[in-house]
A = this chain, B = another copy of it.
Amino acid sequence: MGVEIERKFLVPDGETVPDGREFAVRQGYLVLGPEGAEARVREQDGACSLTVKRGTGLVRGEWETPLSADQFADLWPATEHARVDKTRRIVPLGPDEAVVDTYHGRLAGLRTAEVEFTDPGRAAAFTPPPWFGPEVTDRPEFKNQRLATADAPPLP
C-alpha cells in the first residue's frame, strides 16, 4: 500500500465551483464496527461496489469487489441506518484535482472538496484555490462514517 494523504475543505455557500465532470454517488454502510471497521456499498457513476475496511495505522486493510445492480439492490436496504447521497464533481486544479461533493437529503447544504496527494511534501505545500473554505481534514464530524449517521450537516 502506498501512502495516501487527503485534505478536506468546506466549500461555502455562494462560492461558485468551476466546471468538471459530474456524477451521482450514493453509499451506505452495511455494518459499522469498532476502530473504523466498515463494510460499505457504493453506486458511483452507475458502477456498484462493496468495500471492507478494517484496522488502523500500519495494519489497516482494504478489500473491494464490484457488485452487479441486482446485488446492490439486495444489499442497499441494509444501509438504511447510515447513508450518504451526493453529487460529485471532479475539478482539475493544475497537477491535482478537487473532488467536490454536494450532499443531498439530511446533509443538504453541505459541500466539501477533497484533494488527494501521494507525497507528504506536496500535501503540505498545497495552496487551496479561493473558492475553498475552512479546512476540516482533522475534524472527526466530517469523516465519511460520521456524516453517514449525522442528522444534519455539522457546523462549519
**Hey, which bits of chain A sit against chain B, CB under 8 A?**
30-34, 37-39, 50, 52, 54, 61, 63-67, 70-71, 74-75, 77-78, 81
Contact = CB atoms under 8 A, between A and B. Distances in A.
The A interface is mostly helix, strand or loop, or mixed, namely strand
A28 to B, nearest CB: 11
Specify how many copies of this chain sit in the oligomer.
Answer: 2
A114 B52 CA distance: 31
Contacts of A39: 30-31, 39, 52
A68 to B, nearest CB: 9
A31 to B, nearest CB: 4
A65 B54 contact: no
A75 B54 CA distance: 12
A54 B31 contact: yes
13 contacts: A30-B31, A30-B52, A31-B31, A33-B34, A33-B37, A39-B52, A52-B75, A54-B81, A63-B74, A65-B67, A65-B70, A65-B74, A66-B71
A50 B50 contact: yes
A71 B68 CA distance: 11
Contacts of A33: 31-34, 37
Contacts of A71: 50, 65-67
